A and B are shown apart, each in its own frame.
Chain A
């Protein structure tokens, strides 16, 4: 049975610095955001401490002249787009990561180290530079367009840039290392004898992949999916640079409220909704995982 680690009481004091940092950088700021989300919009941006739930109502409804609420799906559309794009990113990352991670795991130790280093290499470059480089690739005068023209395939491929596809490409590119690493770790942890046992018991390559390798790599894939899906929900750069700011995701919407729109309470309310959504999602995964562990360990 899993025994939770019990720390002697003086060790709790040792954790104090960490708890202080948590308090200062996480709990207090979140508290402020919650406060702002229930405040009234100030006349020139900012906010006044007057309690109201209006910002939350604003997410779904327009307030008519006479105060009646009128359903307005414009923000809901942004939420839906965000979720769909994030899901698509996660699925594409999963599909691409598995073969890559598997390939890396088959290499010699030295080559493995190099390849993993290469996978994480983009993290050493500023996010803006990385996303910007896609403009050069996808733009009207970009690498792809030029190549297609040079090959005489087409002169007018339409604009690749500033589309949902461009955003998706950017998102996948940005977050795929976060998927490859945990998937790679779970493949590395896989006992090669289990793969051999499957072949030994008349399992073809496909059967072995489906019934042994994939199920055993599930924890890595779930971890990767969470690591990709969650930051995707809050992505800001990709929509701005590759989506051209025309199609918004939740991150942009929040940024817009704090910036140009000068509606801090609404921005804060959307942030809180996003955060709650992520927390519910993670909690659900956590409970699911705990139940599963309980089932496996309980007699």
Chain B
């Protein structure tokens, strides 16, 4: 077989042992990672975990307490924000209220000393890119939230930054618009080929848009990987819990065999499943996602009896809560046929899951 190795990816941003303390409050513990060229990279984590702080250090608005940040291989530690080839889409958009949209978009280009003709052409291009060419001479106050969002994007993309930083740019929009803007952002990133560093606390958004996700929690990196990695192979309980929904069952580790573990769980079964950071005799949990549990049970899987105690019909899916021998399990079942008969609360059922779908996580 001819395995073509992927070309070695160029690093757009290198974060080396960067930490940040405000006074004696440690907002971010030392973290190290690289962001590659042309990547849609997402910083994901709960509120207060240091996402904005990290982004502001890349932009130059905060100085790291320790460590270094390099942009395309050059240390930018000593550069003030206006000398870094990085642009930001602010959460509040921060459009200049005294300038027209055109002037807003042209602002960065003027400061970079672009000649007038090239500038005008670029502004027109950018406004067209975000479908706002008709509004060029309006002021930001005359725009809707989604339109402001687009102008903020156009303004930040116009100077062709090496990296574009986006701090929760969708959080101020309503649900419908947020969905539409996700696709638009993703398309923009592909069209422009600019590295996007996107901050969000919405895991669905992160999974949907990103090439790679860095999950931050408690001021440190919990996991860094592709959306699939992070959803399917969470490296600890925090990630399994934060990304998507899951069931946690206490697990007693009987034996370890490399990256697999044999555990016994409260359902009265012993099983062998992939593990991370488990230790024999140590505390561990088994994580199984609701959609990976079969209802009714399938042959060849680990099966158990249970009673349905809750059912939520959601159109495409029905979410069940099942009491299995005192353990509460959440189960998500796709309604694959029209008017699939829903199971009733109180009904006895048999459910099952494959050991391969479970993950043993040490804590």
Contacts and interface: CB of A to CB of B under 8 A. Distances in A.
A204 B82 contact: yes
Contacts, number: 64
Contacts of B59: 196, 200
A202 B82 CA distance: 4
Given A196-B61, A216-B97, A201 B159 contact: yes
B139 interface: yes
A196 B111 contact: no
Interface in B75-95: 80-83, 86-88, 90, 92, 94-95
A199 B96 contact: no
Nearest to B85: A202
B-side interface size class: 20 to 34
Nearest to A299: B142
Given A196-B61, A196-B81, A201 B111 contact: yes
B111 A203 contact: yes
B92 A191 contact: yes
A288 B90 CA distance: 33
Interface in A195-213: 196-204, 207, 211-212
Nearest to B139: A296
A193 B80 CA distance: 16
A13 to B, nearest CB: 37
B176 interface: no
B82 A197 contact: no
B127 to A, nearest CB: 16
B107 interface: yes
B111 A202 contact: yes
A201 B107 contact: yes
A202 B80 CA distance: 9
Nearest to A207: B111
B112 interface: yes
A146 B90 CA distance: 57
Among B80, B98, B156, B159, find the residue whose CB has the most chain A CB atoms closer than 10 A: B98
Nearest to A193: B94
Contact of B155 (A201, A296, A297, A299): A201
B82 A199 contact: yes
Nearest to B141: A296
Given A202-B82, A202-B159, A296-B141, A197 B111 contact: no
Interface string B126-163: 00000000000011011000000000000110010000
A200 B138 CA distance: 23
A64 interface: no
Contact of A197 (B80, B94, B139): B94
Contacts of B112: 202
B108 interface: yes
A297 B139 CA distance: 8
> What is the interface residue range for chain A against chain B?
20 to 34
A83 to B, nearest CB: 30
Contacts of B141: 296-297
Contacts of B142: 297, 299
Contact of B94 (A194, A202, A211, A215): A194
B197 to A, nearest CB: 14
A135 to B, nearest CB: 45
Nearest to A216: B98
Contacts of B88: 196-197, 200
A200 B87 contact: yes
Interface in B99-130: 107-108, 111-112
Contact of A196 (B94, B95, B138, B159): B94
Interface string B204-227: 000000000000000000000000
Contacts of A203: 82, 107, 111
Contacts of B98: 215-216
B90 A196 contact: yes
A201 B96 CA distance: 12
B81 A212 contact: no
Contacts of A198: 96, 107
Interface of A: 191, 193-194, 196-204, 207, 211-212, 215-216, 296-297, 299
19 contacts: A191-B92, A193-B90, A194-B94, A196-B59, A196-B81, A196-B88, A196-B90, A196-B94, A197-B90, A198-B107, A199-B60, A199-B61, A200-B82, A202-B111, A203-B107, A296-B139, A296-B141, A297-B141, A297-B142
Given A193-B94, A197-B96, A200-B86, 19 more contacts: A193-B90, A194-B94, A194-B96, A196-B59, A196-B94, A197-B88, A198-B96, A199-B61, A199-B80, A201-B155, A201-B156, A201-B159, A202-B82, A202-B111, A203-B82, A203-B107, A296-B139, A296-B141, A299-B142
Interface of B: 59-61, 80-83, 86-88, 90, 92, 94-98, 107-108, 111-112, 138-139, 141-142, 155-156, 159
